[in-house]
């Protein structure tokens, strides 16, 4: 588990997005701010840490609220690519290096897919937005912040793949099996997951995996796959418009 409250001493509190912070505090801790002040409230909530005579963002504070946290940790971005065919060796039609806060990364990734689905993600398009949003939030919020790899979004002719560094948290087994049962919320980054919940990025009630595993259950060729190892997690979302291959390259 990462030390989420560790100060990023090379960063400054001015690098955080004030609008995002104010919205978070309005949802989470208005009475606390009134009692002890804004900065002290953010320290207690794990967003800021005291470094000598100043306040610096914590790891989670920078990732969740930083305007461009990738200036300090470039691996916290999302690499997105769209391929002309069904393998990673096919021609790249479009790519993007997405940066920004957690919410900005999710929004940017959704926008990347939306642009390649006629400008809309719905039950009539290749992918629906609620499912993709759930996958992307999981990948961005539950990634291992210590790993030097970016979350990857790979868009093929027949499927989407969302890869994130870091396997299941200690004590959890196969994520797809766990998703069939549901009811377990054991995030790798509990503080970040809590902030994400307050920001409307997740529920943290243990049903996210179940929603993914059971999505598209009306046909075996539409089944979402969750593949996990001790090192990473890969979620494969088949396109509604084409039958996925029996095996991935």
**In CATH, what number is assigned to the domain containing residue 147?**
3.30.565.60
Cβ–Cβ < 8 Å for 85, 157? yes
Task: Give the pLDDT mean for 83-99.
Answer: 97
Model confidence pLDDT, tens digit, residues 174-202: 555 555 455 456 788 999 999 988 877 75
The residue from 55, 71, 87 where one domain ends is: 71
Picking from 18-27, 84-93, 201-210, which range would have the lowest pLDDT averaged per residue? 201-210
Residues 105 and 142 in one domain: yes
Predicted structure pTM score? 0.86
Give the mean pLDDT of the chain.
85
How many domains is the chain partitioned into structurally?
2
212: domain range? 74-238
Residues 89 and 163 in one domain: yes
Residues 49 and 165 in one domain: no
- What's the start-to-end Cα distance of the chain, in Å? 31
Residues 59 and 85 in one domain: no
Nearby residues of 127 by Cβ (< 8 Å), 6 or more positions away = 113, 117, 121, 160, 237, 239, 240
**DSSP code per residue over 83-127:** ESSSSTTSPEEEEEEE-SSHHHHHHHHHHHHHHTTTT--STTSSS
Does the residue 43 lie in any domain?
yes
Model confidence pLDDT, tens digit, residues 104-153: 999 999 999 999 998 888 878 899 998 899 999 999 999 999 999 999 99
Residues 52 and 134 in one domain: no
Place of tokens 């900065």: 39
């Amino acid at each position: 588990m990462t030390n989420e409250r560790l100060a990023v001493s090379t960063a400054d509190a001015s690098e955080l997005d004030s609008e995002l912070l104010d919205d978070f505090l309005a949802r989470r801790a208005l009475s606390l701010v009134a009692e002890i002040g804004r900065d002290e409230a953010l320290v207690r909530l794990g967003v800021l840490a005291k470094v000598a005579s100043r306040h610096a963002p914590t790891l989670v504070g920078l990732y969740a609220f930083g305007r461009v946290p990738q200036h300090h940790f470039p691996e916290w971005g999302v690499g997105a690519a769209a391929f002309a065919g069904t393998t990673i060796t096919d021609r790249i039609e479009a790519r993007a290096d997405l940066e920004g806060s957690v919410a900005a990364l999710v929004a940017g990734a959704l926008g990347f897919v939306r642009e390649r689905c006629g400008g809309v993600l719905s039950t009539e398009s290749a992918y629906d937005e609620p499912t993709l949003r759930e996958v992307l939030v999981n990948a961005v919020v539950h990634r291992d912040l210590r790993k030097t790899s970016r979350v990857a979004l790979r868009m093929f002719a027949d499927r989407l793949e969302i890869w994130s560094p870091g396997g299941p948290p200690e004590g959890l087994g196969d994520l797809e099996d766990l998703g069939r049962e549901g009811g377990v919320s054991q995030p790798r980054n509990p503080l970040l997951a809590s902030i994400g919940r307050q920001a409307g990025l997740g529920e943290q009630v243990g049903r996210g995996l179940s929603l993914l595993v059971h999505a598209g259950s009306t046909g075996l060729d539409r089944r979402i796959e969750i593949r996990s190892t001790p090192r990473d997690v890969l979620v494969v979302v088949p396109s509604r418009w084409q039958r996925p291959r029996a095996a991935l390259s």
